[in-house]
Amino acid sequence: MARASLILCLLALFVAVAVAERVNKSSSAGLIWSTAKEEAELVRKPDSDVDPTAGVVDDIDGIDGGFSSLDGMLQWAIGHSDPEKLKETAQDVQRMSPDELKQRQMEIKELMEKLKTPSDAQLMQIAIDDLNNSSLTLEDRQRALHELLILVEPIDNANDLSKLGGLALVIRELNHPESEIRKLSAWVIGKASQNNPTIQRQVLEFGALRKLMMMVRSSFVEEAIKALYAVSALIRNNFPGQQLFYAEAGDLMLQDILGNSSIDIRLRRKAVFLVGDLAESQIEAKDDVELPFFSNSLFLKSVVDLMVWPDLDLQEKALLAVKSLLHLKTTEARVFQEFCNLDILLDKMKQQLQGLTQDEFQKDYAVDVENLRREVELIYHRKLGQVGEEKTYL
């Protein structure tokens, strides 16, 4: 609020200078002030329906250079100034010489320049420059990465990160000795890569996928989670990325995560979601030969077993993955039945969900998951050949 008060005072000066200048140019002998009531009428906010371009800001904390015009700033400053103090300031300004008045106007112009909000590209360049500073403190390095994390979300900004040389710097930070820096760097890469083929390609060209996959096995849980997030974002809808992922034994990495009950559940959620995503990509690539690990019995069982894990979010993601796996040509219904015990687990899951429907806070979610479970059950029975296309469980 101290900054806002200072800005308010300076803007009051701006108003006073503007008013005094008008008076000096006027043929009137003196300055005529309205009453408090009339003043309120003068500074009343313009009707947005009448003047949609009016630049009035309601909240003093919102001062960030967001005025649409000088008139908007003038209106705002009048409305947030004490009328008596404003009157006194205007009278003082009125007594200034032309040179003094010009000097004040220059000061106000400099203030206006300082109040301008920098663009995203400028903010990004500042953060990139900080990362490129070898003497930067650990705290400031973290701050720079946090700023980039916010800035790279829009796809245009993510592309600017690369153009400004920031992508290479962030990838370099994956090798930083501090886990927190590695985590934040992976997070930035994941954000920038989401649904962005350009950044996906560039990150792969830098060879960062292998490093990220190594980080997924980190003993620092948060680092592992953000690394897997980045891996998923890099290879989603990206065939070259998926091929490289498989070449680096990504299927074994996923199987190890899914089959290890001691691993943090958040990491297992991301892993099983990635399995479903990869299976969907395989289904869409109809002309390509399906990868053998999708039909691996141990791999399939590691996914199916998560359907009855005591976490509704994980159950839902496991169901979605099983649904996609059932649609693959190379997966056999016999393996799901005899090795994975899918029949038994679907029934067990049904019982669990019935219990959750009695919970006021989980009821709606449980009903949605139960509908998905029924859909998976139908697809599974069709694959077994036990039911016809005309029968429905929904």
**Could you read off the pLDDT of 97-132 as tens digits, one per residue?**
888 777 877 877 777 666 667 888 899 999 999 999
Give 12's pLDDT tier (boundaries 50, 70, 90).
Answer: low
Quick check: 390 pLDDT over 60? no
pLDDT attached to residue 102: 79
Query: How many C-alpha atoms does 166 have within 13 Å on its Cβ side?
Result: 31
Give 72's pLDDT tier (boundaries 50, 70, 90).
Answer: low
Residues composing the chain: 394
CA nearest neighbour of 189 among 213, 219, 221, 218: 213
Query: Do the Cβ atoms of 146 and 138 come closer than 8 Å?
Result: no
Query: Do the Cβ atoms of 234 and 274 come closer than 8 Å?
Result: no
Query: Do the Cβ atoms of 184 and 147 come closer than 8 Å?
Result: no
Burial pattern 314-348, b for ≥16 Cβ within 10 A else e, equals bbbbbbbbbbbbbebeebebebbbeebebeebbee
Query: Do the Cβ atoms of 203 and 235 come closer than 8 Å?
Result: no
pLDDT, averaged across the chain? 81
pLDDT attached to residue 57: 37
When comparing pLDDT for 38 and 346, which is higher? 346
Query: Do the Cβ atoms of 190 and 232 come closer than 8 Å?
Result: yes
Quick check: 272 pLDDT over 50? yes
* Lowest mean pLDDT, pick from 46-60, 80-94, 227-241: 46-60
Inter-CA distances, 182 with 58, 111, 219, Å: 41, 39, 13
Q: What are the phi and psi torsion angles at 279 (to 5°)?
A: -65, -40
Q: How far is it, in rounded angstroms, from Cα 231 to Cα 208?
A: 9
pLDDT attached to residue 349: 94
* Lowest mean pLDDT, pick from 53-62, 163-172, 217-226, 247-256: 53-62
Q: Which two tokens stand for residue 375?
A: 């859909």
pLDDT attached to residue 115: 63
Averaged pLDDT, 13-33: 50
Inter-CA distances, 281 with 161, 260, 264, 348, 355, Å: 28, 25, 26, 29, 35
What is the full DSSP assignment across 236-249?
TT-HHHHHHHHHTT
Quick check: 201 pLDDT over 80? yes
The contacts of residue 249 (CB under 8 Å, 6+ apart) are: none
Burial pattern 364-373, b for ≥16 Cβ within 10 A else e, equals ebbeebbebb
Averaged pLDDT, 28-35: 39
Quick check: 187 pLDDT over 90? yes
Quick check: 298 pLDDT over 60? yes
Query: Do the Cβ atoms of 7 and 115 come closer than 8 Å?
Result: yes
- Other Cβ atoms closer than 10 A to 310: 8
Task: Provide the 8-state DSSP code for 283.
Answer: H
When comparing pLDDT for 52 and 26, which is higher? 26
Amino acid at 36: A
